[in-house]
Amino acid sequence: MTTLSNPFTAIEPRRQQRRFNLHAIAWCLLGIVAANSATAQSYRYASQFGTTGSGTLNFPNDVQIDHVSHNIVVSFFDYAGGILFGLGTIYSLYVNSMLLGVLSGVENQHGANGLYWSLIVPHGVIELTAFTIAAAAGLSLADALVRARPRPRAQVLREHGRRSVAVVLGTIPLLVVAGTIEGFVTPSSASIPVKLAVAPISGALLAAYLLRGRPGAADGRFGK
């Protein structure tokens, strides 16, 4: 039975896992930057993602409060897309990062929009990290399938799948916390500075969670 696992320590070797994490981050950032730049050039691009392109979204109607179950589904698609040799994972990253880039472009066309970021950043730090970790697991699965020969790919899928599924399960606590923040902090009457302050706090707790169990974590050293 697959047990809940720290998503940073479930797959070995660690150096190889780091490479997939960086690839997932790169794809995510590429989508955000590309969509943000395209939106700045023409709001017709924004309309393709369901926004009006008017530069004023109707909160919270346009940016819905996601349920934890929805985030888990996104995380699952980020991972499961690896079965399609990574194409499904890249597409899932593309859709979600493009949407964030478009929304950010629309809402910040006249400068930083504090209200917008107070609705995104508090839960986004943890949520985007969870999605990226799941996508990295999907890319590692795709890599294993590509390099499987001469071994049967079905056998490689079973062996690698057991390890990488542990990574996806390890993101569930992250998504629960992100969903809780999104459900209670985001729609609350707290001021914008208070909501924004949640981001560094959640980020610090996230780092502590991800670093637990890594070699050298107890005495200040980290495995290479």
Among positive and negative, which fits the CA dihedral 215, 219, 222, 223? negative
Please give the chain's pLDDT, 224 residues, in tens: 444 555 555 444 566 778 898 999 999 999 898 888 888 776 666 666 555 444 444 444 444 445 678 888 899 999 999 999 999 999 999 888 988 988 888 888 777 889 999 999 999 999 999 999 999 999 989 988 888 878 888 888 888 777 788 888 888 889 989 988 988 888 889 999 999 999 999 999 999 888 875 544 444 443 44
The pLDDT of residue 68 is 76
Cβ–Cβ under 8 Å, residues 95 and 26: no
What is the C-alpha to C-alpha distance for residues 217 and 71, in angstroms, rounded to an integer? 29
pTM over 0.85: no
Our CA angle for 74, 79, 81, nearest 5°, is 95
User: Per residue in 37-92, pLDDT tens?
Assistant: 888 776 666 666 555 444 444 444 444 445 678 888 899 999 999 999 999 999 99
What is the C-alpha to C-alpha distance for residues 83 and 38, in angstroms, rounded to an integer? 31
Close Cβ partners of 214 (under 8 Å, ≥ 6 residues apart): 8, 9, 222, 223
Q: Specify the length of the chain in residues.
A: 224
